[in-house]
A and B are shown apart, each in its own frame.
Chain A
Amino acid sequence: MILLEQVTKRYPSLRGPIQVLKGIDMNVSMGEKIGIIGRNGAGKSTLIRLIGGGEKPTTGTITRTMSISWPIAFSGGFQSSLTGRDNLRFICRIYGQDPMEKLPFVQDFSELGDFLDQPIKIYSSGMKARLAFAISMAIDFDCLLIDEVMAVGDAKFNAKSKEELFEKRAHKAMIIVSHNMRYIKSNCNRVYLMDDGRLQHFEDVAEGIAAHQAMMAS
């Protein structure tokens, strides 16, 4: 389970503190698919960062009894002068996994061929995204964080990654941030609508999406 209680997040700025999250209550249980929707700048990505644990809340508590992934297909932790293989090794080491055991899957799934032994800086953005996605899938977590990623590759790769994520990992908990309401509708059991640093909870996904659309129209 992941439990957020009265979580706030303030960032300092030259014009005084900016309050991004204003008292968030949220819970995610094993296997649930949670959608987070809201307009740009509402605080969705900040929330994801806090849930992931890369940052601490200013006040409030986050309790985790599940292991949580880094944002799926996030390639920011890669070192661009290192090869794809070296980056895979690094991630595996951090999470205590055997790189040799994960290599065949990543090699196969990313379809990088010999490029796996080239430095990442020469990769196209599609290649980089494919590698990042494959590495994300190589490590096993209870809860997957998905922050707007589904447009990572060509149509074929998208179909393949969708299958990997939503069919092979259908039993995993997921927290999905997206502006694509069709995507939210077909993958989530519950949604939270974020507006100005606050969350509104909807048991019914369609209801949440309607509220979101009403908000966007206003």
Chain B
Amino acid sequence: MTKPVPPGLGGTFLEQWMVQRRVIGALLMREMLTRYGRRNIGFLWLFVEPMMVTLTVAAVWTARGFHQISDIPIVSFVITGYSGIQLWRNMSRRCINAIEPNQSLLRHRPVKMLDIYLARMLLEVAGTTTSFALLCVVFLLFSNQISPPENILQVVFAWFLLAWFSMGMSITLGALSELTPLVNKFWPPMIYILYPLSGAMFLVDTLPHGMRQVVLYIPIVHANEMLRDGFFGSHFHAYYDLSYLVAWCMGLCIVGLGISRLTVEHRLS
């Protein structure tokens, strides 16, 4: 028998990193099998599901006659907005109350609380990103409702920032939810408020001046504006502050990791 690396004993960063990568990989597989199984299209649901949501929204908006926002094709507008919403909403949803039902997994020493969050978030990022990319490609090939991104690097970078922000937010909410059940009570109404305010359904450019100032306090708005600037920036004036967004991302990650640490120490069993 080969000897397992005694988890937690091998002190070097590299060894720890190997263990963590292994554990996250195993959790990813387990999560995929549990959620999607091997029936019908299996793990393809990972991105088909968010695609269906975005397509439905796009269809409804088109049917309601919002064919154009100024001269921006509606499909470009909805795909950029709604893919982003799904990213932060799904990631936070997968992290809130993630530990309690998986408590027994922590009896296996290599598995840490953060690994469960990371695996779940990675899966969500993979699904939503694939869905976003596929939708763009499909519409570019088969419809004139969307124009190719003007600056694809900026799109990728903005998407990365949005994922980073969602990660910090999800760890924070997830760890908080283990400490107090209040998160379950307050987060759903917060989501309801954030939907319209996240900048997914409007351009800051089209808002009255006073509203602009208020809305720009919300970091997700900056990410959305940046994303759309990369997509069809020549059609509108984008409002975003990169350093403000990055400061939020870093702040939330630090806060989230801090609360996780507290949660590990104070968890009821």
Contact = CB atoms under 8 A, between A and B. Distances in A.
Interface in B1-46: 1-9, 19, 22-23, 25-26, 29-30, 33-34, 37
A78 to B, nearest CB: 8
A86 B19 CA distance: 20
B104 A95 contact: no
A140 B30 contact: no
Given A11-B268, A12-B266, A96-B22, A91 B4 contact: no
Contact of A66 (B6, B104, B265): B6
Interface string A138-172: 01111000000000000000000000000000000
Interface in A113-148: 139-142
For A96, A140, A141, the residue with the greatest tally of chain B CB atoms inside 10 Å of its CB is A96
Contacts of A142: 6
Given A82-B34, A86-B33, A54 B107 contact: yes
A129 B264 CA distance: 29
A202 interface: no
Contact of A52 (B6, B109, B266): B109
B149 interface: no
Given A71-B107, A94-B110, A55 B34 contact: no
A54 B3 contact: no
Interface of A is mostly: loop
Interface in A62-107: 64-68, 70-71, 74, 76-77, 79, 81-82, 86, 89-91, 93-98
A141 B1 CA distance: 10
B143 interface: no
A65 B6 CA distance: 9
Contacts of B37: 81
Interface residues of B, number: 34
A49 interface: yes
B5 A90 contact: no
B9 A56 contact: no
A94 B8 CA distance: 13
A96 B25 contact: no
B9 A67 contact: yes
A11 B269 contact: yes
A53 interface: yes
Contact of A79 (B34, B110, B265): B34
B64 interface: no
B9 A94 contact: no
Contacts of A56: 264-265
B108 interface: yes
Contacts of B269: 11, 46, 49, 55
Q: Which 9 A-B pairs have the closest CB atoms?
A: A76-B104, A67-B6, A93-B26, A53-B109, A95-B4, A140-B1, A54-B107, A54-B106, A90-B30
7 contacts: A12-B268, A55-B267, A58-B265, A64-B6, A89-B26, A96-B4, A96-B22
Interface of B: 1-9, 19, 22-23, 25-26, 29-30, 33-34, 37, 103-111, 264-269
